[in-house]
Amino acid sequence: MPEETSVDPFGAVLLVSFGGPERPEDVVPFLRNVTRGRSIPPERLAAVAEHYYAFGGGSPINGQCRDLAKAVEGDLREHAIAIPVYWGNRNWDPYLTDVVERMRDDGVRRAAAFVTSAYSSYSGCRQYRENLYDAVSVVGGAPRIDKLRHYFNHLGFVAAFVDTACVALAELPHASQTQARLVFVTHSIPAAMATGSGPHGDAYVDQHRLVAESVAHGVRERTGTPHPFELTYCSRSGPPSAPWLEPDVNDHLEELTSDGVEAVVVVPIGFVSDHMEVIHDLDTEAAATADRLGLAFRRASTPGVHPAFVSVVRDLLVERAAVESGRAVQRACVGSSAASWDVCQADCCPNPQGERPALCEVGR
């Protein structure tokens, strides 16, 4: 057996995710949780609910989180890191408050939180930190929770997408493989939210562009073929009067076809697992658009439990433990941007509804 690796001061890993319904009767209550305080009309909720009902009345995200937690546990054990892995959601069972309480009861005093969102934005970072603050605030004697840094440009995250993009390219008709476009996709957010993301603004788009460039570079090195690429968006949910990030992936497929492109590989770099936005917006809607246009279409898998992605959790845990213990650390990253910060600034990624306390930031 290898010698045990210390990750002091951390006694646990907390996997933090969005959550999703698992049965038809969960769908509407789940959507109410997600949209609480946003004045979403009932007819809009009913329309979104139909997306879930079309797939049996549930989202695969919870099952994917279970698989990821199990894979991380196995990876830590194989590398002689003897701490447990917990999992909690913002919007559905297991809720963060319940999991924080369970960690306390299990004797955990400090935990490292890995969020299933790789990028800077209000909805992808601060909102999770607000929910962590809420959970810790109502649990007496709660453990201290430190959020692990953003990992958009971590080698393991990028490597997983390089692998899955190459697999998808190889599934295209042979004559189309070298001519295919790479269409990178992430979740659209309000333009104002994107502008305010990160400590200096515009981090959300900049980080995705860096990942797209890094994955395209990796694919070129692997295949020997350069593939033109673009960054697009999906899952817009705001009113038409409010500007959100564009272009929509379906509109972009229309444009590519008019330019004579015959094949695409869609690479969902904004998502870590194949949950509802992926299987509905890409595997259903975008695939139907491509079929209507006569466009050869393949979708690359998300990282899921790809070994390179699973190893990111361990690497960030060991890295942060070294930082907290005052040891020198070498941060793994690729591309033109440095590794992300450990602790968020108090004013980055502001809440569009007004200031709320959040965990894991400077001064808190």
pLDDT for 323 = 96
pLDDT at 1 over 60: no
pLDDT at 3 over 80: no
pLDDT for 48 = 87
Distances (CA, A) of 177 to 215, 226, 271, 298, 306: 17, 11, 24, 11, 24
d(CA 270, CA 72): 21
Confidence of residue 351 (pLDDT cuts 50, 70, 90): very high
Out of 239-243, 317-321, 335-339, the most confident range is 317-321
**What percentage of the chain has pLDDT greater than the value 90?**
88
pLDDT at 73 over 90: yes
Confidence of residue 2 (pLDDT cuts 50, 70, 90): low
Average pLDDT over residues 93-115: 98
Q: Do 278 and 302 touch, CB atoms closer than 8 A?
A: yes
Q: What is the CATH number of domain 155-299?
A: 3.40.50.1400
pLDDT for 59 = 93
Q: Do 131 and 164 touch, CB atoms closer than 8 A?
A: no
Average pLDDT over residues 218-222: 98
Q: Which long-range contacts (CB under 8 A, 24 or more apart) does 35-41 make?
A: 37/353
Confidence of residue 87 (pLDDT cuts 50, 70, 90): very high
pLDDT at 39 over 80: no
pLDDT for 54 = 92
Specify the pTM: 0.95
- The string over 224-255, giving b where at least 16 C-beta atoms fall within 10 Å of a residue's C-beta and e elsewhere, is eeebebbbbbbbbeeeeeeebbeebbbebbbe
Average pLDDT, the chain: 95
d(CA 115, CA 124): 9
pLDDT for 342 = 96
Query: Between 217 and 241, where is the model more confident?
Result: 217
pLDDT at 114 over 70: yes
d(CA 293, CA 308): 35
Confidence of residue 67 (pLDDT cuts 50, 70, 90): very high
Domain with CATH 3.40.50.1400 in the chain: 12-151+307-324, 155-299
pLDDT tens for 168-217 read 999 999 999 999 999 999 999 999 999 999 999 999 999 999 999 999 99
pLDDT tens for 142-156 read 999 999 999 999 999
pLDDT for 183 = 98
Average pLDDT over residues 59-72: 97
d(CA 268, CA 58): 21
pLDDT for 364 = 66
pLDDT at 80 over 90: yes
Element housing 313 (H / E): helix 307-324
pLDDT at 257 over 80: yes
Q: Which CATH architecture has domain 12-151+307-324?
A: 3-Layer(aba) Sandwich (3.40)
d(CA 234, CA 104): 39
Mind spelling out the 3-state secondary structure of 83-110? Answer: CCEEEEECCCCCEHHHHHHHHHHCCCCE
